[in-house]
Structure 1
Amino acid sequence: MVGSGLLVLGAFYLLSIISEEFFVPAIDRLAKKLRLSSDAAGATLLAIGSSAPELFTSIFAVFGTQTGGGDIGAGTIVGSAIFNVLVIVGAASMFRVVKLQWQPVLRDMGFYILTILILFWAFSDGRISLLESGLFVLLYFIYIVAAIYWRKIFNYQDVDAVELVADNPVNNLGGLVRKILGVVIPNPVRRPKLYGLTFVLSILAIAGLSHQLVHHVVVIADYFSINPTFLALTVLAAGTSMPDLIGSVIVAKQGRGDMAVSNALGSNIFDVLVGLGAPWLVYIAWKGGEINVGTENLFASIFLLFATVVALLFLMLIKNWKIGHKSGLFLIALYGGYLIYILKSL
């Protein structure tokens, strides 16, 4: 059991390094090669990069069990979404006052609220159908189109999210583990011509680590007779969100906390619509039938997620699209209260 715990911690650590130092910079190169705008890149490639741990955790949770693994996959995504909204946004505003551009935030907030409402609807009967999973994926494609054309409709200056990744100090290799990974996986900053190989190897590494995470979390849950959904909502959710948290804190210290808020919302939209919808869609199309989801363990968390997003939007409106350190402390305290609630519900 100690071995499983150490493997889970090690997997979290490696996921953070691989995502931040190899996978996201490789996606940066790919976005430049395809000449994508920052909005389009953020909604597609960068979202995949920052949300890769959650996506592959959901994939292996769905395909790794006979019933579609709905509880673990959904629990990880929902828990990660709560972590992103409360902890990442809260941590970003702890260093400097975050000044937001209302146009992209309003777009992402609107799509995110719609996403949560659809999640409520899909979970209402405890089963996921082909139609419901297809609707998730379709809504994400609509979001991509909106992201591409939003800046053309509303005239605002957009921060180049792709460049921020390349300048991120997290990408500086250091330590024995980073050096070993740098030998196995080409560093796309130092060896930019091999970004394609880095992209593929990073996906394989993240997939393998995510598979081990799901397996050993289930082992730990069985050993201690804990509901796996609880560990998914807390341990898996926070662990797979570490790359997002680290990157957000760094850009916030650089005075670009608005990027942290935008990335948190964009990653959440991807997590729910693609991280849940795509594995469900493929599984149901392949095996037929429906996927059972233990919604009794998730409804309270989804409701809290909806409430926090609405509260965050209200906070931004009354603060004239600014978030200060007091608001950040409040958001982090809310997450602490959420953890206490989850523990009491065991």
Structure 2
Amino acid sequence: MDLIAAGGSLLIILFAIYILAIMTDEYFIPSLDHISGLLNIPSNVAGASLMAMGSSAPELAIALTALFEGSGEHSDVGIGTIVGSAVFNILVITGASALARPAKITLSVVIRDCLVYVLSIALLLYTFYDGQIHPLEAFSFLVVYLTYLIILYKWNSWFPEDVLANVKEAEESEQLLSEQPTDKGQRSIMVLMKDGTTKVLGIFAGSVEQAYLRVFFVSIAIIIMLSWILVKSVIVFGNATSIPPVIIALTLLAAGTSAPDMISSVVVARQGRGDMAVANAVGSNIFDILVGLGFPWLLAMGIGMMTGAPAFVEVGTADLLSSTLVLLGTVFVLFLFLYTERTLSRIEGGILIFLYVLYVLWIWLGG
């Protein structure tokens, strides 16, 4: 084991994840929040679409950079990050949100998102079957996501009672926030460090309130750059420690890139917007699978066909099929918990987090 290379690359991974989380949470997601506010999008729709897209931007960027790294032999790093992130989202993000405050949900919204999510996993399992991704398969991912977006934006006219529930939920959240005392005590070193990093990034990104479109595009550029650094560092760390990069992607990289999802979901859960927290977690997974994989695959095949390469993408699925099957199990567990009394309790949230700990141990012990 090359200790210097391993230690150096691990520090770079942790630092890049930290910057990525701040960039996404402080700039990219708020810019999308401004867009959703201008478009007057209800909270559960915004959570499942714009908020999910924003918080999933790191996974998409990593999938793109991993696919084009070298000759594509490290594409499983991008896929592993997305599959591992999806497991993290369902078990940890929804679990942490429930621990912050039990989430009351709208059953029709949960059924909507869970059905599309199960369809997404089924598509993923089908494409993994022969280890080759063909153009029609990749295109079908994007078609399903486009259909999902159409369903989201038609939802208000189909289920107007959900809109009324969102309005009531928002009013209760504002009242709750106005009643919470403000803490003006001494700020910790971590908070000061985060504030300093946020200000430095703000020099490049600008102000969300004054120029949210500039923030949007600068955030994308920085996220892509950090994702390239992460992919390179994971490969170096894997080579130095003899740990398959896909295992690192399934756990460390997946959890790190999902940090913005967890932060934003816990915040909205504390505000009493349980629908938005759950919709963000499930919606992020839908985006990760359908767009985070479908778009890079289609782009790679399009470039390949122009250069005379084979019209398919090969993926190494040996370490991914079992985790994808785990994904299928997690969505059924989550749906069962949400279906009971239309609430995700703190006990159920704790169970979800415990299941994730078991999953990580299973992956690292060779499951």
CA RMSD of aligned residues (A): 2.4
In the other structure, the counterpart of 2:344 is 323
In the other structure, the counterpart of 1:283 is 300
User: 1:134 and 1:11 mapped to 2: Cα distance?
Assistant: 31
Question: AA paired with 2:222?
Answer: A
Residue 41 of structure 1 deviates from its aligned partner by 4.3
User: 2:235 and 2:53 mapped to 1: Cα distance?
Assistant: 25
Choose 31-40 or 296-305, whichever is displaced more: 31-40
In the other structure, the counterpart of 1:313 is 335
In the other structure, the counterpart of 2:187 is none
User: 1:256 and 1:145 mapped to 2: Cα distance?
Assistant: 23
User: 1:162 and 1:279 mapped to 2: Cα distance?
Assistant: 37
Note if 1:221 corresponds to 2:238: yes
- On the 8 A contact 1:139/1:273 being kept in 2, the answer is yes
Residue 314 of structure 1 deviates from its aligned partner by 2.0
Note if 1:118 corresponds to 2:110: no
- On the 8 A contact 2:48/2:282 being kept in 1, the answer is no
In the other structure, the counterpart of 2:322 is 300
Larger Rg: 2
- On the 8 A contact 2:66/2:231 being kept in 1, the answer is yes
| Partner SS, residue 341 of structure 2 | coil
1:286-335 C-alpha deviation (Å, 9 max, x unpaired): 10321111111011101111011112212222x12211111111111100
Residue 223 of structure 1 deviates from its aligned partner by 0.9
In the other structure, the counterpart of 1:139 is 144
Note if 1:27 corresponds to 2:20: no
- On the 8 A contact 2:47/2:276 being kept in 1, the answer is no
- On the 8 A contact 1:22/1:198 being kept in 2, the answer is yes
- On the 8 A contact 1:47/1:267 being kept in 2, the answer is yes
Number of residue pairs matched by the alignment: 338
Question: AA paired with 1:93?
Answer: A
Choose 58-67 or 74-83, whichever is displaced more: 58-67
Cα distance, 1:162–1:279 mapped onto 2, change above 3 Å: farther
Question: AA paired with 1:228?
Answer: P
1:69-126 C-alpha deviation (Å, 9 max, x unpaired): 4311110100000000000011111132211101111100000001101111010111
In the other structure, the counterpart of 1:233 is 250
- On the 8 A contact 1:24/1:49 being kept in 2, the answer is yes
| Partner SS, residue 57 of structure 2 | helix
| 1:232-271 to 2 correspondences below 5 Å | 232-271=249-288
Choose 149-158 or 119-128, whichever is displaced more: 149-158
| Partner SS, residue 244 of structure 1 | helix
User: 2:342 and 2:145 mapped to 1: Cα distance?
Assistant: 25
- On the 8 A contact 2:96/2:353 being kept in 1, the answer is yes
Choose 224-233 or 37-46, whichever is displaced more: 37-46
- On the 8 A contact 1:19/1:202 being kept in 2, the answer is yes
Match of 2:93 among 80, 88, 96: 88
Question: AA paired with 2:197?
Answer: V
Residue 257 of structure 1 deviates from its aligned partner by 2.8
User: 1:294 and 1:327 mapped to 2: Cα distance?
Assistant: 34
Question: AA paired with 1:305?
Answer: L
User: 1:71 and 1:129 mapped to 2: Cα distance?
Assistant: 16
Match of 1:46 among 48, 51, 61: 51
Cα distance, 1:295–1:174 mapped onto 2, change above 3 Å: closer
User: 1:173 and 1:263 mapped to 2: Cα distance?
Assistant: 27
Question: AA paired with 1:181?
Answer: L
Question: AA paired with 2:195?
Answer: G
- On the 8 A contact 1:136/1:277 being kept in 2, the answer is yes
- On the 8 A contact 2:44/2:279 being kept in 1, the answer is no
| Partner SS, residue 335 of structure 1 | helix
User: 2:74 and 2:37 mapped to 1: Cα distance?
Assistant: 36
- On the 8 A contact 1:43/1:144 being kept in 2, the answer is no
Cα distance, 1:259–1:30 mapped onto 2, change above 3 Å: closer
Note if 1:186 corresponds to 2:186: no
Q: Taking structure 1 as the reference length, what is the TM-score of the superposition?
A: 0.91
Cα distance, 1:25–1:333 mapped onto 2, change above 3 Å: same
| Partner SS, residue 207 of structure 2 | coil
Residue 172 of structure 1 deviates from its aligned partner by 11
Residue 253 of structure 1 deviates from its aligned partner by 2.1
Note if 1:127 corresponds to 2:146: no
User: 1:43 and 1:90 mapped to 2: Cα distance?
Assistant: 17
Residue 32 of structure 1 deviates from its aligned partner by 3.8
Cα distance, 1:324–1:62 mapped onto 2, change above 3 Å: same
